[in-house]
Structure 1
Amino acid sequence: MKHLLPVITTLLCVSFYTQASEPAGKTILARGSVLAVDGDSELQRKLQRRDTVFGVDRITTGEKSKAQFTMSDGGLIALKENSELNIANYEFDSNAQQGSASIELLKGGLRSISGVIKKNGGSYNVKTPVGSIGIRGTHFEVQLVNGDVFLAVWDGAIDLTLKNNDVVSLGHNEAFSFAQITASGEVLTTTRAANVFDQNIVAIDSKSDDDKEESEQSSVAEVIEPEIIDIIDIIETDSGIADVYSEQQFQTVSNASLIDQIAQRQGVFNYQASSFNIDSSAGAVSDFSMMMAVDFDNGTVPDGEISFNDANGNWYAAYSGLINLSKLDLAVTFASHANNKAEGNVEAIFLNDLDTISGSFNLNEINNPDVNATGSFKLEP
């Protein structure tokens, strides 16, 4: 009995935590040290892929660590290494499709793509040490360096209200898309991204992190997020997509030329299914279709859809995401099967000089996970 008390206490703490806190989103990527701390109880937990984050969480990433989250309204947040983010508020009513969000960047940097909250006119604010950012668009980036705040708007627009109530507007239909606000409040606007958004690229090989040497610097911040990459960044060992590809195919992404290709490609490319293999718990499937829009200018996947039929009805999933070097970090934002809500995930990588996207997906009904479907695919423009 004495040995059971710690276990019971832990279970009670977890139960209280999940009941008292509203889910704000899910973890779609967690590399290195990624921790969430309850802002009220100071309970700490390590975040892993698919873990829920809550409206009272303070999230931190360590050295050479990063995290990405799909939020309850379909928005995406990517945290860089050595960052600290406080989710002050993230509320979304999926039925009314309305909500509000307030997050605070305390350290490091983040990239965000706003979701339905902003699309439907809700309040979405990001607090920084120099002021509060109001979001008018979709895709922006913030980096804190020695007390200064650096801003980049890749799509849409933002309004930064400084502590003296002056407003700095950046992005679409504004004179500038980039700015630096010093700790003293001085505003420096530019037409080019600051060096803090440059990329440190390490060649992909099978050596340990300690053995790897930096191979080049590439200023392609508008395309991909900063990171040190290795072969594990190309393929998730628990995702099942390894079965789709051969060793030779992965050799095509083992040099820096792919990074140059991503940086040089411009505009939005619409990829469609050229081949696929689908299994459903209800048997044979028909009428499969899949599309993915890839915006190389902004480093995003703004829109993607999967649809097919089985004996019990139509499967449908919508997803979006970010370009993460050779692979795509994707999150399912809505899914259904017939009249039932569903969930799932999509994994994909670039092949053949960006002319092919290959990957896999799995879907299941939320209330009946035994009703499910899985598949692999190839997409081409």
Structure 2
Amino acid sequence: MKHLIPALATLLCVSFLSQANTVAAGKTILARGEVLATDASSAQQRNLKRRDTVFGVDRITTGEKSKAQFSMSDGGLIALKENSELNIASYEFDTATQQGSASIELIKGGLRSISGVIKKNGGAYNVKTPVGSIGIRGTHFELQLLGGDMYVAVWDGAIDLTLNDQSVVSLGSNEPFSFAHITSLGDVIKTTQAPAVFTQNIVAINSDNEANSESEQQSLAADNTSENNTDADTLLADVYVEQQFQALSNASLIDQIAQRQGILNYQATRFDVLSSLGEVSDFSMSMSVDFDNGTVPDGEISFNDAGGNWYAAYSGFIDLTKLDLAVTFASHNNNKAAGEIDAIFLNNADTITGDFSLSEISNPAVNASGAFRLEP
């Protein structure tokens, strides 16, 4: 027993020093499926869940049909796709001086990243990949490793990719191309269109066009509820796209969403709906958001036009500041229908705004679409 006590004291001391020297790199804002973090110094493993801290010594892996998203200490964002492996070699940020540096390595799979204050203030931010190292010039970019090849998309800003043969590939703003496919042999294929492996549709907005504040954008949406304004749906869609990009870059909103707890029910407070059959009436829309599990268990849309009642049920989950939604059932009168819904959080997650489209499966010319604003 006398020999055991000093040994335990030494073990506790080593453990304390190890934790004290571990730098918190960020927090988990979404962990869906199998998301595992391995401490590089101790080889200890832990399953990550929402609100868990990630450290500057972690190697993070996602399993089949799994995904993870992280809000980094400098306000940057990293989203990992399924079957991915990311090594956080170092991630240090001083909140007092607003300075820091970061080095991460994508070993397999894919990631999407929006750089934060470190890069904005001129700090070193390096991303290593099997085909080369990426230097960031303030950006929102995406990578996908597939069969020894790497696909690159720069949605905003620019990157310089130094390949293993030391040649440099520049993509993004002020460059002829924003997308590239680097083969396992080192061949570089630049394109003006996003490679098919990137399934999402991200619209990059030049910073010169971001003068409208969030409240001004909401005012634009609110002012276009007239059924007589045939351009209302186009204008609201444009406003929504800009809100989507700006909200995606809003780290504070992501933190606010991550801190929410419980289930909150939202109802439509403003809307603008157009139907191919004319006037629309009796619109209602609801959405239930489970912040603890990061899901949308259920939601419904209902309204009438000259052809009868439109109805859609949907569900989904929280994805950063947007909601990844899918229509699970839709109909128009007695006809089956299909549709899509896009939505994002605003105003500390007290508001959900977005748009939808519905159409009959057997007769797509019969359709309806609109924009909405939901609040508790």
TM-score range, shorter chain: 0.5 to 0.7
Deviations 1:232-282 (A, max 9, x none): xxxxxxxxxxxxxxxxxxxxxxxxxxxxxxxxxx999754379xxxxxxxx
Letter in 1 for 2:249: P
1:313 maps to: none
**How far, CA to CA, are the matches of 2:184 and 2:351 in structure 1?**
41
1:140 maps to: 141
Q: Is the 8 A contact 2:345 2:353 kept in 1?
A: no
TM-score (norm 2): 0.58
Q: Is the 8 A contact 1:104 1:127 kept in 2?
A: yes
1:222 maps to: 202
- What secondary structure is seen at the aligned counterpart in 1 of 2:104? strand
Q: Between Structure 1 and Structure 2, whose CA radius of gyration is higher?
A: 2
- What secondary structure is seen at the aligned counterpart in 2 of 1:118? helix
Question: Once structures 1 and 2 are overlaid, which stretch shifts more, 181-190 or 10-19?
Answer: 10-19
1:155 maps to: 156
Deviations 1:4-27 (A, max 9, x none): x9x999988875553231000000
2:38 maps to: 37
**How far, CA to CA, are the matches of 2:143 and 2:103 in structure 1?**
15
**How far, CA to CA, are the matches of 1:304 and 1:173 in structure 2?**
26
Deviations 1:159-200 (A, max 9, x none): 0001111100000010100001111111110001111112xx
1:88 maps to: 89
**How far, CA to CA, are the matches of 1:195 and 1:170 in structure 2?**
18
Q: Is the 8 A contact 1:222 1:299 kept in 2?
A: no
Q: Is the 8 A contact 2:74 2:116 kept in 1?
A: yes
| Alignment CA distance shift 1:329-1:62 (3 Å) | farther
**How far, CA to CA, are the matches of 2:171 and 2:252 in structure 1?**
31
Identity %: 59
User: How big is the shift at 1:351?
Assistant: 5.0
1:350 maps to: 353
1:236 maps to: none
**How far, CA to CA, are the matches of 1:99 and 1:293 in structure 2?**
33
Aligned pairs for 1:242-261 (under 5 A) are none
**How far, CA to CA, are the matches of 2:158 and 2:105 in structure 1?**
18
**How far, CA to CA, are the matches of 1:86 and 1:60 in structure 2?**
9
Aligned pairs for 1:1-381 (under 5 A) are 15=16, 17-198=18-199, 220-222=200-202, 270-272=213-215, 295=242, 298=245, 301-303=248-250, 322-325=321-324, 326-328=342-344, 346=349, 349-351=352-354, 353=356, 355-358=371-374
Q: Is the 8 A contact 2:75 2:251 kept in 1?
A: no
Q: Is the 8 A contact 1:78 1:112 kept in 2?
A: yes
TM-score (norm 1): 0.58
User: How big is the shift at 1:348?
Assistant: 5.8
**How far, CA to CA, are the matches of 2:177 and 2:28 in structure 1?**
33
| Alignment CA distance shift 1:297-1:166 (3 Å) | farther
Q: Is the 8 A contact 1:328 1:347 kept in 2?
A: no
User: How big is the shift at 1:295?
Assistant: 3.1
List gaps (5 residues or longer) in structure 2: 220-238, 254-318, 325-341, 357-369
| Alignment CA distance shift 1:108-1:171 (3 Å) | same
List gaps (5 residues or longer) in structure 1: 199-219, 225-265, 275-291, 307-319, 333-344, 360-375, 377-381
| Alignment CA distance shift 1:130-1:176 (3 Å) | same
Letter in 2 for 1:92: F
Aligned alpha-carbon RMSD (Å): 3.7
